[in-house]
Amino acid sequence: MNGIRVTAAVRVSAAAVMTVCLLGAGAGVTVAAPSPSPSPSTDTDWGDTKKWDGGLEVTVSKPVKFTPSPYSIGHETGNQGVKWRIKVHNGTDEAFQGALMTVYAKSGSDGDTCEQIFDGNLGAGIAGSVSPGSSGTAEFAFDVPRAQLTKVDLEVRPDFLGDGKHWVGEVK
């Protein structure tokens, strides 16, 4: 949709320039070129719901800091364990396969990849499938360097080939 707005703005600007050229600069016509619309931000606040074509919706909760157990996998001493509750609502006509959903986290201004933490059921994802009209919820956790908690980008992909949606913000 953003491409449509930009294309429309370019066409209007081109039409304004052509009008001035055809009427002549001395004709006293003043045409202001429209300023391009700002791009909508893909960054969202924690807690927002994102929608995919077809009816699938995902809501990502506010992040919660936690201390991984000594038996966790993916946690490095000195980093901060951060977890999110992710809810999938299946508004499609077919069962949603929870095992196909992937979640990624990047942190800091350089977008450093964060390791996923597996700790008991934490990180196991949505088991089985989610029926049409139903929801499934699971917690996902990542190991974030403490100095990079001011910007964390969490991406959810409902399947391996689909587009991901992003939730970006500070972990407090």
Instruction: Assess contact for 117 and 141: CB atoms under 8 A.
Output: yes
User: Are the beta carbons of 105 and 142 closer than 8 angstroms?
Assistant: yes
Token pair of 66 as six digits: 């936690």
- Torsion on CA atoms 61, 66, 71, 74, rounded to nearest 10: 60
Q: Which tens digit of pLDDT belongs to each residue from 34-73?
A: 334 334 445 458 999 999 999 999 999 999 999 999 999 9
Residues ≥6 apart with Cβ < 8 Å to 21:
none
The position carrying tokens 């990180």 is 123
Q: How many Å is the Cα radius of gyration of the chain?
A: 23
Q: What is the pLDDT of residue 11?
A: 36
In this predicted model, which residue has the larger pLDDT, 86 or 13?
Answer: 86
The percent of residues in the chain predicted with pLDDT above 70, rounded, is 74
Q: pLDDT tens for residues 106-143?
A: 999 999 999 999 999 899 999 999 999 999 999 999 99
